Amino acid sequence: MTALVFVDSNVLLYRRDPMEPVKRPLATAWLEHVWRERTGRTSCQVLSEFYANATRKLSVDAENAWSDVEALQSWRPQPIDADLLRMGRVIERRYRLSWWDSLIVASAQSQNCALLLTEDLQDGAHFDGVTVRSPFTLSINEAAAEYAMRPAPSRHPPRGRPRKHPLTRPLQGV
């Protein structure tokens, strides 16, 4: 069994970008691989970013960009809901990532992905069971060996005494 792979919008965009002769074939190879292996995952946030940037920055015809979005619906994209927002907030605080990157990591975790393909985060970074790799430095064969049969990350909060919510603390000097 091969580990699940979360694909960020930049990988989808490079596949459509004729001005990237080096990155375009690598992005295409990765996408073909995850389609063939049925291991690709993404999120509604990623699909939204892809559509907006493909049609505005890359001048991809809206019908073609939308056709890609519809095809990627088969990957069961992670919706943005209250649980994902809470996970994103925890990740933002713990790792000091931007809000949008925190939601990407939370989406990858929610879908039990071992690998997050993006060039927007540090290559090799680990976030509670999700490893970030650039699709332009990691070969598909290397990934297949390294991320096969990786156990799913724990969804339980870390042990220890929970911190009190600031609104439940007694007022000082009262």
| DSSP 3-state of 43 | strand
Domain containing 98 — which CATH number?
Answer: 3.40.50.1010
Q: Count of domains in the chain?
A: 1
Is position 158 within any domain? no
pLDDT value for 142 = 74
Beta-carbon contacts of residue 62 (< 8 Å; ≥ 6 apart): 55
Is position 157 within any domain? no
Question: Phi then psi for 131, rounded to 5 degrees?
Answer: -105, 130
pLDDT value for 137 = 93
Is position 159 within any domain? no
Judging by DSSP bridges, how do beta strands 40-41 and 5-7 pair with one another? parallel
Is position 133 within any domain? yes
pTM: 0.82
Per-residue confidence at 169, pLDDT binned at 50, 70, 90? very low
Amino acid at site 103: L
With beta carbons less than 8 A apart as the criterion, state whether 117 and 111 touch.
Answer: no
Give pLDDT tens digits for 7-43.
Answer: 999 999 999 999 999 999 999 999 999 999 999 999 9
Is position 173 within any domain? no
Residue range of the domain that includes 18: 5-150
Give pLDDT tens digits for 62-99.
Answer: 999 999 999 999 999 999 999 999 999 999 999 999 99
Is position 162 within any domain? no
Is position 141 within any domain? yes
Helix 23-37, helix 140-147: angle, nearest 10: 40
Pull the structure tokens for residue 6.
């979360």
| Long-range contact pairs involving 76-82 (C-beta distance under 8 Å, separation at least 24) | 76/41, 76/111, 77/41, 77/42, 77/43, 77/44, 77/46, 77/47, 78/41, 78/42, 78/43, 78/44, 78/45, 78/107, 78/110, 78/111, 79/43, 79/44, 80/43, 80/44, 80/45
Is position 104 within any domain? yes
- Other C-beta atoms closer than 10 Å to the C-beta of 114 total 23
